[in-house]
Chain A
Amino acid sequence: MKYESQRVAMPYFIFALVLFVGQIVFGLVLGLQYVVGDFLFPEIPFNVARMVHTNLLIVWLLFGFMGATYYMVPEEAQTELHSPLLAWILFWVFAVAGTLTILGYLFVDYATLADVTMNKLLPTMGREFLEQPTITKIGIALVVVGFLYNIMMTALKGRKTVVNIVLITGLIGLAVLWMFSFYNPGNLATDKYFWWFVVHLWVEGVWELIMGAILAYVLIKLTGVDREVIEKWLYVIIAMALITGIIGTGHHFFWIGPPEYWLWLGSVFSALEPLPFFMMVIFAFNMINRRRRNHPNKAALLWAMGTAVMAFLGAGVWGFLHTLAPVNYYTHGSQITAAHGHMAFYGAYVMIVLTIISYAVPIMRGRPYGNSNTAQIVEMWGFWLMTVSMVFITLFLTAAGVLQVWLQRIPDSGEALSFMATQDNIALFYWMRFVAGAFFMAGLIVYLGSFFIKGQASPAEEVRGPATQDA
């Protein structure tokens, strides 16, 4: 760690991991509710648990992105953070607001929550993933604006690097697109348009810029490959992400009322959305093969490779599976969507945050060359347990989805099974998914355990060629 103010990333990372645990706990609750319908009813109904599960994911990833940014931007710009105090204040504001919102979901019924938070003054609640009370949405906007101010003041006074430019562009996009969450037109089709401008253009647009920038940063640090080479790849990857991702939004417009041409545009452009992810795989493995140094933090390297591969599988391949309009006609909103959602979020965004945590946290704890061997081995066990479990969750949900489509969607209306009859037929897959989820939780516990393992920190690295200035 070159700049003392980078340390402000630490609380963001810690809180992100705390929320991650919460997310998985509620994931398990949901997994069980799929097969034991009245589990925890009426205390925590399915819709509430789902809201908590998805909102926690979004919020902890935002904490992770912010932590990553506070760590990366000063080092890239070669200057101290503009205001560490502001970063601390915003941390507490965001943490308290986020926690209160989740507690609100759990302990107050949703209609009362809407009343108490005066949703009727500016109604924005009640939409999937954007369930947050309006006041929380305003809070998120203010936190992000303060955060961007802090980061941009830092970046502007120091060295301008491609990593910083791409990262900050992604974050500005994140903030700007969030504004659409305040627009809630009465017409349901129009509402869905703007809703997707937040949801899709985040995860299949600007978040990919953030992911690309973090991956590029970690690869520069771990491989010692020339910055120019890595930056060139980063440009090509984000160009592809935006070319395919922006018009690819059309794959959400298939059945919500817009003109028919979206069937074509959505299909064609989203069919190419795997490309930037595929390029990330080539990029990561190519840079690692050309590495000039063997960085002793093997765990971070594993996360970096893992995120490229799993993002390609989850976002790319599993997205492509059901993105073409003639296929999506049958699979829309089935368990295939859930399979894609799980592996895409884990592979692309959970793993990229865990990658930067794996790289940065040991440094902030005074171990510039990574944790002790034992700690790294435990962390890698966490990696494999979580990743393999996620693969199984995805496979079981995919099997459930295929069967669901087969029984409920493809037959003519008179012969098709009803929704609930279909659910009974695929319950076995839900049980298997639950077991895989339990293994995921075990992996998360092992992963978190690795932070508490002491032992001698890794010795200095072995340099494979001339060291670069970024060493």
Chain B
Amino acid sequence: MQTSAQTRHHLPGDLAVWFFIFAELAVFGILFIGFGVARNLDPNTFAAGRQVLHPWTGLINTIGLITASYLVAVAVHRLRHRQTGVTPLLSGAIAASCIYTFGKLWEYADLYSNGYNLGTDTFFMFYFFLTFFHFMHVILGQIILVVLAVKVKRGDYNGDDMNGMESGASYWHMVDLVWLVLFPMLYVLA
């Protein structure tokens, strides 16, 4: 399953991680389709629900995640070319992703204190479930980034074998990608 970093058109990371990523995307994909179907059945509830959300917080969260993804991509590139500064980049990515984590927690607290929860209506069921499910993925992704940062700092990864680094980075980009669908879907289009 190992791929060589030297191959021109190689699959970044481990094949097993890609199986995992596709399975995850399948879960989110089906949830997105479900969201679309439910919205068609009851557009008014969805439009009303969307009004309650804070699009600015959503936008700031999005910027946090995109920044983190950019920093991770640069970190992978630098490690592959045996350049320094990989650990600070990964730490920066973790910090940027925390903008999302805290922003999301604030949103949950705000909505919850105003009486919205999973059982409010179909829109909020999807909102809370989809974003919280994604939130858990972000937390897992952050743990993976911490592990990568520690391993790079300890010198376990020196650019010879990119498998671990690329696997972790691929997973992180998947988490980011899902949010890039979730944000417009929930905050803008619903």
Contact = CB atoms under 8 A, between A and B. Distances in A.
B34 A268 contact: yes
B26 A275 contact: yes
Interface in A384-401: none
A275 B23 contact: yes
A232 B1 contact: yes
Nearest to B129: A265
Contact of A272 (B16, B27, B118): B27
Interface footprint category on A:
20 to 34
A327 to B, nearest CB: 15
Interface string B1-42: 100000000000010110110011011001100100010000
Interface string A244-274: 1000000000000001110011011101100
Interface string A230-249: 00110110011001100000
Question: By DSSP majority rule, is chain B's interface helix, strand, loop, or mixed?
Answer: helix
Contacts of A235: 16
Given A232-B14, A261-B119, A243 B1 contact: no
A233 B16 CA distance: 7
Interface of A is mostly: helix
A261 B129 contact: yes
A123 B176 CA distance: 50
Highest count of chain A CB atoms <10 Å: which of B19, B30, B118, B125: B19
Contact of A264 (B14, B24, B34): B34
Given A235-B16, A236-B16, A259-B119, A272 B26 contact: yes
A268 B31 contact: yes
Interface string B123-142: 00110010000000000000
A261 B125 contact: yes
A272 B23 CA distance: 8
A178 to B, nearest CB: 26
Nearest to B14: A232
Residue in B14, B17, B24, B27 whose Cβ sees the most chain A Cβ within 10 Å: B27
Given A232-B16, A235-B16, A261 B23 contact: no
B30 A272 contact: yes
Given A268-B27, A272-B26, A272-B27, A239 B20 contact: yes
A240 B23 contact: yes
B143 to A, nearest CB: 14
A243 B1 CA distance: 23
B118 A268 contact: no
Interface of A: 229, 232-233, 235-236, 239-240, 243-244, 259-261, 264-265, 267-269, 271-272, 275, 279
Given A244-B27, A268-B31, 10 more contacts: A236-B20, A243-B23, A243-B27, A260-B119, A261-B118, A261-B122, A264-B38, A264-B125, A264-B126, A268-B30
Interface of B: 1, 14, 16-17, 19-20, 23-24, 26-27, 30-31, 34, 38, 118-119, 122, 125-126, 129
5 contacts: A232-B14, A235-B16, A260-B125, A261-B125, A264-B126
Question: Closest 3 interchain pairs by CB?
Answer: A261-B125, A232-B16, A259-B119
